[in-house]
Structure 1
Amino acid sequence: MRLFGIPALALASSVSAVKVTEHDKLAVLGLENLQRYVAENGSPDPGTCTPETASVRKEWSTLTKPERRNYIDAIKCLHSKPGLTPASVAPGARSRFDDFVVTHVKQTYSIHATANFLSWHRYYIWAYEQLLRNECGYKGYLPYYNWAWWYEDPASSPLFDGSDTSISNGGDYVPDRNYTCVGVPTGSPDCPIKLEPGSGGGCVSGPLANWTVTLGPIATKVTGIKPNPQADGLGYNPRCINRDVNKNSAYLSRDEVITELLENSDDILTFQNRMQGDFPNGYLGVHSAGHYTVGGDAGSDFFNSPADPAFYFHHAQIDRTWWIWQNQDLDKRRNAVDGTITFQNDPPSRKGMLNDTLTLGPMLQDAFGNITIKDAMSTLGGPFCYIYV
Structure 2
Amino acid sequence: MVAVDPQISLIGETTCLSDCIEGAPPPQGELVPAVDNRVHNQSNTKVSVNSNNELLDSYISRLWRIREKANRSLMLTSDEVTSICRSVRTLFLTQPGLLDLGGPIKVCGDIHGQYDDLLRLFELCGLPDKVNYLFLGDYVDRGRQSLETICLLFCYKLRYPTRFFLLRGNHESQAISRIYGFFEECRRRFSVKLWRTFIDAFSCMPVSAIIENQIFCCHGGLSPEMLTPELTSLADLKRKIREIIRPCDVPDCGLLCDLLWSDPWYLESVGDGREPRGWEPSERGVSYMFGPDIIDRFLERFNLDLICRAHQVVEDGYEFYANRSLVTIFSAPNYCGEFDNAAAVFCLNRAVLAPNYPFDSTSSLRNQEDAELEGSFHILRTDVPGGSRPNASSGLTTHPNSAQGPK
TM range (shorter): under 0.3
Higher strand proportion, which one?
2
Query: TM-score, with normalisation over the residues of structure 1?
Result: 0.28
Higher RCO (CA < 8 A, seq sep 6+): 1
Query: TM-score, with normalisation over the residues of structure 2?
Result: 0.27
